[in-house]
Amino acid sequence: MASHGALANEDPLKLGELTLGDYLQDLDYRNVLVGKSEARGNQDALQRLQIEQHTNIGKRLAQGGFENFEHFSGIYPDQIAPEDLAYNDYLYANGFDGKNPWESWANSAVNQDGKKVSGWQMRNSNLPAAVPEEHSETVYTTDRALEFLSSVDKDERWCLHLSYIKPHWPYLAPAPYHSIYTKDHILPAVRHSTELSNPHPVSGAFMQETYSRNFSRDEVRERVIPVYMGLIKQVDDHLGRVFEKLKSMGLIDSTLIVFTSDHGDYLGDHWLGEKDLFHEQSVRIPLIVYDPDKEAEQSRGIKVVDGDTIVLNGEKIRFSGIDTPEHLREYTISQIDYSDRGPRVSLNLHPYDCRAHMIRNKEWKYILHEKFRPQLYDLRNDPDEFHDLGDSPEHKSVRQEMDEKFFSWFRNRLIRTEMEHDFLFEMGVERDEKMGILIGHW
Amino acid sequence: MASHGALANEDPLKLGELTLGDYLQDLDYRNVLVGKSEARGNQDALQRLQIEQHTNIGKRLAQGGFENFEHFSGIYPDQIAPEDLAYNDYLYANGFDGKNPWESWANSAVNQDGKKVSGWQMRNSNLPAAVPEEHSETVYTTDRALEFLSSVDKDERWCLHLSYIKPHWPYLAPAPYHSIYTKDHILPAVRHSTELSNPHPVSGAFMQETYSRNFSRDEVRERVIPVYMGLIKQVDDHLGRVFEKLKSMGLIDSTLIVFTSDHGDYLGDHWLGEKDLFHEQSVRIPLIVYDPDKEAEQSRGIKVVDGDTIVLNGEKIRFSGIDTPEHLREYTISQIDYSDRGPRVSLNLHPYDCRAHMIRNKEWKYILHEKFRPQLYDLRNDPDEFHDLGDSPEHKSVRQEMDEKFFSWFRNRLIRTEMEHDFLFEMGVERDEKMGILIGHW
């Protein structure tokens, strides 16, 4: 975030920052997006550089270095649904009516009185989506991915960014996925009464948000989480179709598959909903790498589930073989800016003061706020992060140690992000003299 | 540096960073450079965006938002002199011969044996440059500025960046400026024997550089500094011609004039030469603002010479009136990267470890190094910065306090540097709901 400059969905990447797509394009890959992406170009910059949006360069910048084979940037309620939405066109073609069938069919349900009700009301999450499964977002997105795969040439190098939107608000699944799981399948909420008594001001403010108050109720969790699980199961099933397609095309042994997610979800853990803060539920994400290359044999089958091995979101994955654990990080850093969230108002903060930073290693998670005391969690003895040691006198030295790591990280961040780095090692200190620039000679 | 990404002369600005020229261009100013600039475009980025260098946009990016009315990027010894250097063409036209007359006339002298000798050898600094004053860099650059001023329309809005290269290596002045000052005019060296005994490793390494060793000798100071002063006097005299021109054009009462410099010079102070470290001699620069606007009346004539009022290099100067001192900064920050300097080798450092940071307020100057202990100077009681308190046990709490300010500065740096900032204040937290995105409703 500190380098690429994008803090919120609305933010474009900084103009000179390279994406995965940019790097792969240089390697002659055809990079294709199918699904959700919030990448967008910096319109002011494009205008200043007189780069037209419809040109290849304009598109590349607006699309994060990918070709939009199928693109949507989120869920579209009626107020913001664009005229030319491919999924809406698809739904029309299949007989679904209305101004915005995505909303009125895929994100609406029919209640027992035969009335259309909104998926935005979580009380309706137990109902199946009005759209049949075969026309739901996940199936449509998968079908588009298979269409792309059918179009690739045998010898073409390509990268498919298949980006499912669901599970996502509104929490509604098509049948049968709305009812595969029940409240008996869900894990107990990871929360503790101690978190409610005298919480950190920022945590406390987020606990007061509508989504947190609702997800703190068992009735909500028991209705929504089974559906959330159903939506995951649906993605799982349809990824199977992608893998079968790769097999049938003879590509499964030459295709690197990386499965990951952009963030977690509280779903009521820690008396919170959504994804705003730094608990493991929010910042820890799945990462599954399938690498058919022989060089990857030695690392095949490794499972890391204890949080002791840290892979930073966005860290390079080598194309042949995976970095061995020795190369993994000692700590990870995360940054948030909640200036567009309710707690900015409820805490009466200036937007610039809504920034917070987390540093986490195997033992500790330490969070710095600008206007409030820090937070500290002992991950060895309190893996559930119930007990905030941010003002514990006995832990002063731990906080100091984490401060030092943090401060050092800030000082040593890469600054020349838009330049090749190898030149640094080639740049001789005697270079000036070779050019006849004789500084300080007598 | 942390934001704009340029650490060394070779570094281009980050592609999306706006310059003074970019801002003024949006206000319909014609921005013109006359003189030295190291601005350059990011060639890789321009190629990626298919922006041709010869187009207006390509030039704007390559020239930091200014039109190059007259441009050179430094002094050009024979090894790096380009074919099409305007000042060389000017010298040819005036009868000066050779492959690179800038070097062989303006930066060379004739010794008592009638032999050409190089200005790069400071032993020759007492000799007048071989070029007569009327054809020297400072006069040529001034003439070009006057040519530009003659060309402006009465109602045109313009900004002239008049950038003199001298005083600069090689330290050679044309007659009579080579001999206006003598060793009797120079100030005593600001240095103390205590600085030589057990110096900070980085300071000590810089003290061993050729330029520092030479400038630590009185013979060198007494020969070079009078010439350096003569070169300043020459700039002063010729700026007078610019002001007379503005008067004769009737523009002196509608022209904002800002005089400043890019860095200072040790010239033997602290047993150092050049400009690499954080002493006041290096980081403190002149700033003279002449604002004819009536709104500036109340601040007219204010002189700040005690270092108690801090204006950060690059800080905005309002066009009508000057920011009042209340708005000035509590502290200033400076960053260096000496990976292309001798001490990288003599200290056996990885290029990434050659970064250092300074924070300075009215009382203290505190410097953080990556592989060495910090430095601390008590500016109230030791304004000459002779006594490094970086490892003084009594000053531990001061260092901690400065660490905290520093760390906070890093955390709170502007991240969205390529975006308008006002949007933050317009972005309501209820925006999502207005768009029909009802997160967490029951």
- Encode pLDDT of A258-272 as tens digits: 999 999 999 999 999
Can you give the three-state secondary structure of B324-371, one letter per residue?
Answer: CHHHCECCEEEEEECCCCHHHHHCCCCHHHCEEEEEECCCEEEEEECC
Calculated CA dihedral for residues A12, A18, A20, A24, nearest 10 degrees = 140
On whether the CB atoms of residues B340 and A431 are closer than 8 A, the answer is: yes
Looking at residue A323, its pLDDT comes to: 44
Q: Do B438 and A411 touch (CB under 8 A)?
A: no
What are residue A67's phi and psi, to 5 degrees? Answer: -85, 125
Which pLDDT does position A196 carry in this prediction?
96
pLDDT per residue over B11-46, tens digit each? Answer: 888 888 889 998 998 899 999 999 999 988 888 888
Contacts of B422 in chain A (CB under 8 A): none
Residue that has been written with the tokens 């640094």 in this structure: A424
pTM equals 0.90
Cβ A121–B49 below 8 Å, yes or no? no
> How buried is residue B173: exposed, middle or buried, by Cβ count under 10 Å (0-12/13-18/19+)?
buried
Q: From residue A94, give the alpha-carbon distance in Å to each of A72, A101, A312, B41.
A: 19, 11, 42, 52
Mutant choice from A275, A415, A421 vs B, greatest count of B C-beta within 10 A:
A415
Say yes or no to pLDDT of B407 above 90: yes
| C-alpha–C-alpha distance, residues B234 and B239, integer Å | 9
pLDDT at residue B326, as a whole number: 45
Per-residue model confidence as pLDDT tens digits over A205-240: 999 999 999 999 999 999 999 999 999 999 999 999
- Record: contact B436-A78, CB cut-off 8 A: yes
Task: Tokens for B257, please give them.
Answer: 């004039």
Q: Which residues of A touch B418 (CB under 8 A)?
A: 5, 12, 14-15, 42, 44-45
pLDDT tier for residue A299 given thresholds of 50, 70 and 90: confident
- Cβ within 8 Å, pair B436-A80: yes
Give the least confident one: A114-123, B294-303, B387-396. Answer: B294-303
* Position with higher pLDDT, B429 vs B123: B123
8 Å CB contact of A412 and B352? yes
Specify the pairing of strand A158-163 against strand A30-36.
parallel
Residue B296 has pLDDT above 90, yes or no: no
Q: Which pLDDT belongs to residue B150?
A: 97
H or E stretch covering A62: helix A56-62
Q: Which two tokens stand for residue B98?
A: 């050779």
Record: contact B435-A2, CB cut-off 8 A:
no
Beta strand spans in B269-331 (E)? 287-290
Q: Are A106 and A116 in contact (CB under 8 A)?
A: no
Distance (Å) from the C-alpha of residue B243 to the closest C-alpha of chain A? Answer: 33
Confidence band of A429 (pLDDT split at 50, 70, 90): low
Cis bond before residue B170 (omega within 30° of 0): yes
Residue B99 CB-density burial (10 A; 0-12 exposed, 13-18 middle, 19+ buried): exposed
User: What are the angstrom distances between the C-alpha of B314 and each of A288, B20, B155, B333?
Assistant: 47, 9, 28, 12
Q: Which helix (H) or strand (E) holds A378?
A: strand A375-378
The confidence band for B416, taking pLDDT boundaries of 50, 70 and 90, is confident
Summarize pLDDT for B138-164 with one digit per residue, the tens: 999 999 999 999 999 988 999 999 999
Residue pLDDT, tens place only, B86-122: 999 999 999 999 999 999 999 999 999 999 999 999 9
* Max avg pLDDT among A190-194, B288-292, B413-417: A190-194
Pick among B50, B276, B348, B411 to test the A interface (most A CBs inside 10 A): B411
Mean pLDDT of the region B254-271: 96
At B176 the three-state DSSP class reads: coil
- Which residues does chain B have within 8 Å of residue A439's beta carbon, measured at their own beta carbons? 169, 210-211, 273-274
Cβ neighbours of B2 (radius 10 Å)? 18
**CB within 8 Å: B78 and A436:** yes
pLDDT at A434 (0 to 100): 84
Q: How far is Cα B225 from Cα B404, in angstroms, rounded to an integer?
A: 40
Q: Which of A355-369, B129-143, B328-342 has the lowest mean pLDDT?
A: B328-342
pLDDT attached to residue A318: 45
Report the gap between the CA of B6 and the closest CA in chain A (Å): 7
First CA to last CA distance, chain B: 49
The answer to whether B247 touches A412, Cβ cutoff 8 Å, is: no
Identify the weakest region by mean pLDDT among B6-10, B181-185, B275-279: B6-10
Residues of A (277-336) whose Cβ lies below 8 Å from B: none
Rg (CA), chain B: 24
d(CA B153, CA B252): 15
Cβ neighbours of residue B82 under 8 Å, at least 6 residues apart?
B76
pLDDT tens for A333-359 read: 999 999 989 999 999 999 889 999 999
Which residue in B327, B257, B324 sits closest to B293, CA to CA?
B257
* A440: nearest Cα among B201, B423, B273, B248: B273
Residue A224: which H helix or E strand, with range? helix A218-248
Q: What residues of chain A lie within 8 A of the CB of B351, using their CB?
A: 424-425, 427
Nearest CA to A185 among A150, A149, A250, A232? Answer: A232
How far, CA to CA in Å, does A245 sit from each of A32, A145, A150, A287, B20?
A: 17, 10, 9, 22, 55
Spell out the alpha helix ranges (H) of A249-319. 280-283
Beta-bridge partner residues of A32:
A67, A160
Q: Which residues of B touch A341 (CB under 8 A)?
A: 429
Torsion sign (Cα): B312, B314, B316, B320: positive
What is the reported pLDDT for B168?
A: 95
3-state helix, strand, coil in chain A (%, to 5): 35, 15, 50
Q: What pLDDT score was predicted for residue A245?
A: 98
Residue B16's SS3 state is coil
Provide the token pair at A133: 């499964």
pLDDT at residue B345, rounded to an integer: 92
Residue with tokens 């990011």: B42
CB-based contact (8 Å) between B58 and chain A? no
Q: Which amino acid is at A43?
A: Q
User: Across chain A, what does the average pLDDT equal?
Assistant: 91
Q: What percent of chain A has pLDDT over 70?
A: 92
A434 and B CB contact within 8 Å: yes
pLDDT at A311 over 70: no
- Determine the pLDDT at residue A428: 62
- Counted across chains A and B, CB pairs separated by less than 8 A come out at 220
Quote the Cα angle for A219-A224-A228, to 5°: 155
Region for residue A264 given its phi and psi (left: phi exceeds 0; alpha: psi -120 to 50; beta: otherwise): beta
The verdict on whether omega for the bond into residue A167 sits within 30 degrees of 0, i.e. cis, is: yes
What value does the mean pLDDT take over residues B295-308? 76
> Among residues of chain B, what percentage have pLDDT more than 90?
72
**Ordered DSSP codes for B140-166:** HHHHHHHHHHHHS-TT--EEEEEE---
Q: Is B48 on the interface with A (CB under 8 A)?
A: yes
pLDDT of A316? 44
Grade residue B246 by pLDDT with cuts at 50, 70 and 90: very high
| pLDDT bucket at B317, cuts 50 / 70 / 90 | very low
Q: What is the spatial distance between Cα B362 and Cα A239, in angstroms, rounded to a whole number?
A: 62
pLDDT at A329: 76
- Does position B327 have pLDDT exceeding 90, yes or no? no
CA distance B16 to chain A (A): 5
Residue of chain B nearest A273, judged by CA positions: B440
Q: What is the SS3 assignment for B296?
A: helix
pLDDT at A163: 98
Q: What is the DSSP string of B103-142?
A: IIIITEEE-TTS-EEETTSGGGTTSPBSS-GGGSHHHHHH
Mean pLDDT of B287-308: 82
Considering only residues A281 and A315, tell me which one the structure prediction assigns the higher pLDDT.
A281
Could you check whether the bond before residue A176 is cis, i.e. omega within 30 degrees of 0? yes
- Rounded CA gap, B275 and B283, in Å? 8
How confident is the model over B337-350, as pLDDT tens digits? 999 899 999 999 99
Please tell me the predicted confidence (pLDDT) of residue B324.
41
Give the mean pLDDT of A43-72.
89
Using an 8 Å Cβ cutoff, are B101 and B88 in contact?
Answer: yes
Average pLDDT over residues B217-243: 98
